[in-house]
Structure 1
Amino acid sequence: MSGFARSVVVGGSGAVGGMFAGLLREAGSRTLVVDLVPPPERRDACLTDDVTAPGPELAAALRDADLVLLAVHEEVALKAVAPVARLMRPGALLADTLSVRTGMAAELAAHAPGVEHVGLNPMFAPAAGMTGRPVAAVVTRDGPGVAALLRLVESGGGRPVRLSAEEHDRTVAVTQALTHAVILSFGLALARLGVDVRTLTATAPPPHQVLLALLARVLGGSPEVYGDIQRSNPRAASARRALAEALRSFASLAGDGPDPAEDLDGVFEELRRLMGPELAAGQDHCQELFRTLHRTDDEGEKDR
């Protein structure tokens, strides 16, 4: 049993909301899906309403719910906090799936200081499935509902990772905004170099193949989603600046320094210290990945 007899998932027709709605229903929760503009194929399966100005049916559902989950865009979620919190019964849990935490923390402090709340950010595409994957969990106000929802995530195979709001935004600026900036900048460089991608694919060593695969994966997604990640996180701009500065430093080391090999020795030592005890595990993970690509022997590909 989920611990939530009745739940409301706002935005439950979307990929993230749908994942959580399915998890709740599988655990026996009577789950109402709410969307302002549901897709035609799901219109009969959800309540059409605006959570920022709930109508009578939605208001009644919010009053009865043990859990209200906001799986909507940040702008909508922030506007929904005050009207939803006014309707929720004491002891009910409010949750959201935003990828940026600091704005929600401020809104909760202003309009729902006594409401139990947790933010859940799945660090993966919902189509990939939750099993074995991390879900960042930012607890604003702890309680039995938070514990129950985190247990539900674990029962679905997810790995909740607790972070503060500040830790979350700083971490996600690196794991998402910086990572996507690296991949898309790599693609832009390929375009400017005028190379034939079919030739690259035919001749590329494993590291380049991995970068091409990452680029292909990103390009299969929504530009709007990737743009939101870059614009919404207050720390994303500093991550991009760090990337640009690092590339300029590397260009200097590789081409303009008096002894590039000697300079790179220092860079390697610095980065090995940065990786610390994760270095060996990362090397093993990469070797396993390369074996998957090319079925190499135990030595794998190391230097190219």
Structure 2
Amino acid sequence: MSGFPRSVVVGGSGAVGGMFAGLLREAGSRTLVVDLVPPPGRPDACLVGDVTAPGPELAAALRDADLVLLAVHEDVALKAVAPVTRLMRPGALLADTLSVRTGMAAELAAHAPGVQHVGLNPMFAPAAGMTGRPVAAVVTRDGPGVTALLRLVEGGGGRPVRLTAEEHDRTTAATQALTHAVILSFGLALARLGVDVRALAATAPPPHQVLLALLARVLGGSPEVYGDIQRSNPRAASARRALAEALRSFAALIGDDPDRADDPDRADAPDRADDPDRGDDPGHPGGFDGAGNLDGVFEELRRLMGPELAAGQDHCQELFRTLHRTDDEGEKDR
């Protein structure tokens, strides 16, 4: 038994809501799916209703529910907190699946400080399945319902990771907003370089193959979803600024001048291959050898990785083996 004899999943026709509705039903909960529009071809699959202004039938379901899970957009979820919690019976659990936590924490503090609540953010696409995958869990007010829902996630193969609201948004700004910005910026850079992607795919060493694969995966998704992740997280802008500053720092470390005239990809760049005064020859007195400074950067980043460094190296080696379907060690330096 799920611990929730009766549950309501708002937005249960969507991918995330559907995943949790299925989990609850498999555990024996009588689960009502609520949505503004029923799934195509299935008019009886859900109760059509607006959770921000519940009608009589939805209000009755909310009063009877042991769990109300909001699997909807943040704007809807925040507007729903006050009307939903006024209807919920004492001891019932409110949960949501928002990808940003600080706004919900403030709304609960204002309108429902005594209601048990946990936010669950699956850190994976629902189509990938929950087994073995992390689910960020932000507990606003603990209680037996929270414990039961986290156990249900574990029973479904998920791996709940408890975070505070602030920790969640800071972490996801790095794991989601920063990661997606890196991948899409990589794609934009390829476009600006005017390279032949077929030639890249045919000649790329493993790290580049991985980046191409990540770019392809992101491009198979919804621009709206990726844009919402960038705009909704209050720390995403800081993550993007950190990325831009890090790239500028790296360019300076290598001795790169973005405005230099000898860039071979500039249309007006002169041919300086035989220029004895060119400054980008490490052996020339006017040149720059970034190896020493890169040693310091590598040491700093190794300290940052800490005990995760060795595990990450092993993970990458396995990934490269998968790419090449071979048992050798793969390439380490390219």
The TM-score bracket by the shorter chain reads over 0.9
User: In 2, Cα distance between the equivalents of 1:100 and 1:260?
Assistant: 42
Unaligned runs of 5+ in 2: 264-294
Larger Cα Rg: Structure 1 or Structure 2?
2
Q: Which residue of 2 aligns with 1:124?
A: 124
Deviation at 1:163, TM superposition (A): 0.2
Deviation at 1:301, TM superposition (A): 1.2
Change (3 A) 1:260 1:90: farther
Unaligned runs of 5+ in 1: none
CA contact (8 A) 1:254 1:260 kept: no
CA contact (8 A) 1:13 1:42 kept: no
| Higher relative contact order (CA closer than 8 Å, sequence separation 6+) | 1
Cα offsets for 1:159-197 (capped at 9, x unmatched)? 000000000000000000000000000000011111111
Deviation at 1:133, TM superposition (A): 0.2
Q: Secondary structure at the match of 1:42?
A: coil
What RMSD in Å do the two structures reach over aligned CA positions?
2.8
Deviation at 1:270, TM superposition (A): 0.6
Change (3 A) 1:21 1:204: same
Cα offsets for 1:127-148 (capped at 9, x unmatched)? 0000000000000000000000
Cα offsets for 1:24-79 (capped at 9, x unmatched)? 00000000000012332333210000000000000000000000000000000000
Change (3 A) 1:41 1:271: same
Cα offsets for 1:86-119 (capped at 9, x unmatched)? 0000000000000000000000001111100000
Deviation at 1:300, TM superposition (A): 1.7
CA contact (8 A) 2:183 2:215 kept: yes
Runs of 4+ in structure 1 over 4 Å off: 257-263
Change (3 A) 1:268 1:92: same
User: In 2, Cα distance between the equivalents of 1:215 and 1:169?
Assistant: 24
Q: Secondary structure at the match of 1:45?
A: coil
Identity over the aligned pairs, expressed in percent? Answer: 93
User: In 1, Cα distance between the equivalents of 2:152 and 2:37?
Assistant: 28
CA contact (8 A) 2:137 2:163 kept: yes
Q: Which residue of 2 aligns with 1:288?
A: 318
Q: Secondary structure at the match of 2:170?
A: helix
Cα offsets for 1:233-274 (capped at 9, x unmatched)? 0000000000000000111112349999999x1111110111
Q: How many corresponding residue pairs?
A: 303
Moved more, 38-47 or 1-10: 38-47
CA contact (8 A) 1:253 1:260 kept: no
Change (3 A) 1:262 1:121: farther
User: In 1, Cα distance between the equivalents of 2:45 and 2:164?
Assistant: 36
Q: Secondary structure at the match of 1:268?
A: helix
